[in-house]
Chain A
Amino acid sequence: MAIPIAVPRLGWSTEEALFTGWLKEDGAPVRAGEPLYVLETDKASQEVECLDAGTLNILAGGPKAGDKVLVGALIGYLLQPGEVVPSSAPLVVSAREGKPAPAVVATFAAPEPERSRIAISPRALRIAAELGVDWTRIEGSGRDGRIVERDVRAALERGGKPGAGSVRRVIAERLSRSARTTVPVTLVTTADASPLAGIRRRLKESDGPDAPGYTDLVVKLVAEALCRHPALNARWEGDGVVLQEGIHIGVAVDTEAGLLVPVIRNVPELTVRQVAAASRDLAARARRRALRPEEMQGGTFTVSNLGAFAIDAFTPVINLPECAVLGMGRIERRPVAEGDAIVIREQLTLSLTFDHRIVDGAPAARFLGELAALIRGPGAALGL
């Protein structure tokens, strides 16, 4: 068997060396123990001895004097009489099987989050969230005014549940930013919700009080419509439009403190009942003020339902940085012309506000039309 000559590792951790030259000529007979070639590392120049005997065959295209060689590189063979150079290169394991070293990995400093100037212990923070206490208005009794557990509990006892103040401030700030920066256009249409009402009745009979409500059904249908019209599932980021991969739908919740919009994640992957469960949980916690900040972020579309207040149409405000928001009105039995006959139908008014910077009128209208069609004939879209 032809014996491969490979660049040895010199020392513990050398990965490459400088090839200084052969000490034998191609075709020369070599005896075991004879110096064969010279390598140079940062440590020293070293003659590499041959452990075996044979006729030296220097690989064409092998290293020349002055070349860098990697440990493990094949540079020649020792042949026994009658042998030829193998056609397939033998396996020579290099010292480190390895991935190439990554190029410089850039690190980016995360934008400095706006930090509260109020100090609070981790324990007090957790308890405030659990009890739904707005700690931003509590006076701390710890060192340097740090809020500790006892302060939170005392605030709760004082009935200091309160302070809608901070939420109001946030709402005010966000809505005015939306009004300042977006170019909102609102489209209104009416959809025949009779089939939806039928589904809702059946669900109520089978699931009882936990049955998915109209908002849940519409959220699911909105997700389907967004799948078909991804242009509406977009956000304005920096100075451009970024289509979003996931469909995460925010649902506006009215709380004592004010409007909160928790987000239901990955709606297309959820069943209607899962949407309902998630929505119920989020809304309940929103009212207790027990939502985590990240549960109110990352939405790609928002649904707001004012049907309970006997509203038909309105102009919902875009929840930045999303592209559009759907307003649901009440579902009302109204006379409708069907062919030449007048029939009674459950009618639902839909108001879509979209950001004209991101999407134009026609695609937005097509999306709303699609949604109305889905409401008229939900079929498989609800998976029920």
Chain B
Amino acid sequence: MQATLEALTEEMARDPAIFVLGEGIGKRGGNFRTTAGLYERYGPLRLCDTPICERGFVGLACGAAMAGARPVVDFMFVDFVLDALGEIFNQIAKVQYMSGGRLRMPVLLRGCIGVGHSAATHHSGSYHPLFAHIPGLRVAVPSNPADAKGLLRHALRGHDPVVFLEHRELLGVKGPVPEGDWEIPFGRAAVVRPGKDVTVVALSLMVRHALAACAALEKEGISVELIDPRTVAPLDVDTVLASVRKTGRLLIVDEAFGPFGLGSEIAAQVAERGLDQLDAPIRRLHGAHAPTPYSPPLEAAVAPTAKTVERAIRDLLED
């Protein structure tokens, strides 16, 4: 979180067209401290506190971008921005194409995703597959501070609308962040750890769960290659395919719903392009296809954990 704040602070200093819209992002510094200290530096016009009208200020951001500004919409929880899907899908995603590229749409839509701490059903969604389904949108879902900073900086320098989603349970995570002016281009997966027996693709918080599972399995001599796509749109399937060519086995782990999701898409592309590399059926591990419950034991049952990831890998190795 500190990493993205650094990126935003630096980019706002570099580009006066950047302004932030959202509820409580002004003096208050953002519900998740995403804009802490920026109000004092850049004032109310560039740190614009909005009424609770997601559709309204997302639509406003669209018009502002058409007129040459670079709005950052901070909607706290991705669940809240569902009210504005029409503005995002019908307007923001389409303007560049419909105008033959004469209008640009550098809107950054950011917010939190994910199950955890009994946030319950209206504060626990992970809707990246929904956004990735729409042509014209880019979707970044980082899993660590360095990626978050590099991807956010890249988003703030491009022409395209970007949906930038951070897992709430990752906001406090610490990690090394390189110094200097660098960015991470979209559509390049990271090989988090190399391995040879099985390929696991995991996103966001699931990368951490998968790392824990890998460590447990390593003691038994099971070698897992872990891949973090980092952006869901564009999606780097080439890196996944290269890994499957080595291992012949593939598991995809994502907290979002399974149907028509990240797992489905990767599985379909791998089957299309690399069927005869597969030594076992492709496996998917997703969040339960149900509204997220409140009670801690119920909540713990709907999202993948290090344990369930480990079990899924073992199961796949038996195929």
Contacts and interface: CB of A to CB of B under 8 A. Distances in A.
B280 A142 contact: yes
Contacts of B278: 121-123
A380 B86 CA distance: 73
Nearest to A121: B279
Tell me which of A122, A146, A149 has the highest count of chain B C-beta atoms within 10 A of its own C-beta: A122
Contacts of A85: none
A146 B278 CA distance: 13
The 8 nearest A-B residue pairs measured at CB: A126-B276, A123-B279, A122-B276, A121-B279, A149-B279, A122-B275, A148-B279, A123-B248
Given A122-B279, A142-B319, 5 more contacts: A121-B248, A124-B279, A125-B276, A146-B319, A149-B248
A96 interface: no
A123 B277 contact: yes
Contacts of B279: 121-124, 142, 148-149
A143 B318 contact: yes
Q: Please classify the interface of chain B as helix (H, G, I), strand (E, B), loop, or mixed, using the class held by over half of its residues.
A: loop
Q: Please classify the interface of chain A as helix (H, G, I), strand (E, B), loop, or mixed, using the class held by over half of its residues.
A: helix
Interface string A97-137: 00000000000000000000000011111100000000000
A40 to B, nearest CB: 35
Contacts of B248: 121, 123, 148-149
A381 B40 CA distance: 92
Nearest to B315: A143
Interface string B18-50: 000000000000000000000000000000000
Interface residues of A, number: 11
Contacts of A148: 248, 279-280, 319
Given A121-B280, A123-B248, A148-B280, A143 B319 contact: yes
Contacts of B277: 122-123, 126
Interface string B175-211: 0000000000000000000000000000000000000
A148 B275 CA distance: 14
A121 B275 CA distance: 9
Contacts of B276: 122-123, 125-126
Tell me which of A121, A146, A148 has the highest count of chain B C-beta atoms within 10 A of its own C-beta: A121
Nearest to B248: A123
Interface in B301-319: 318-319
B56 to A, nearest CB: 31
Interface string B272-309: 00011111100000000000000000000000000000
5 contacts: A121-B278, A123-B278, A124-B279, A142-B280, A143-B319
Interface string B252-280: 00000000000000000000000111111
A149 B278 CA distance: 9
Contacts of A126: 276-277
A149 B249 CA distance: 11
Nearest to B245: A123
Interface string A126-160: 10000000000000001100101100000000000
A70 B279 CA distance: 57
B199 to A, nearest CB: 13
Nearest to A141: B318
Nearest to B275: A122
Contacts of A149: 248, 279
A126 B245 CA distance: 12
Tell me which of B275, B279, B280 has the highest count of chain A C-beta atoms within 10 A of its own C-beta: B279
A121 B280 CA distance: 6
A121 B249 CA distance: 11
Interface string A57-84: 0000000000000000000000000000
Contacts of B275: 122
Contacts of A122: 275-279
Nearest to A129: B276
A148 B247 CA distance: 12
Nearest to A143: B319
A169 B317 CA distance: 35
Tell me which of B275, B276, B277 has the highest count of chain A C-beta atoms within 10 A of its own C-beta: B276
A123 B277 CA distance: 5
A146 to B, nearest CB: 7
Nearest to A149: B279
A39 B275 CA distance: 56
A142 B317 CA distance: 9
Nearest to A126: B276
B222 to A, nearest CB: 14
A351 B128 CA distance: 71
Contacts of A143: 318-319
A310 B171 CA distance: 84
A125 B276 CA distance: 8
Nearest to A152: B279
A123 B250 CA distance: 13
Contacts of A123: 248, 276-279
Contacts of A146: 319
Contacts of B318: 142-143
Tell me which of A122, A123, A142, A148 has the highest count of chain B C-beta atoms within 10 A of its own C-beta: A123
A149 B196 CA distance: 14
A125 B275 CA distance: 11
A126 B248 CA distance: 12
Contacts of B319: 142-143, 146, 148
Nearest to A146: B319
A60 B21 CA distance: 68
B217 to A, nearest CB: 18
A125 B248 CA distance: 12
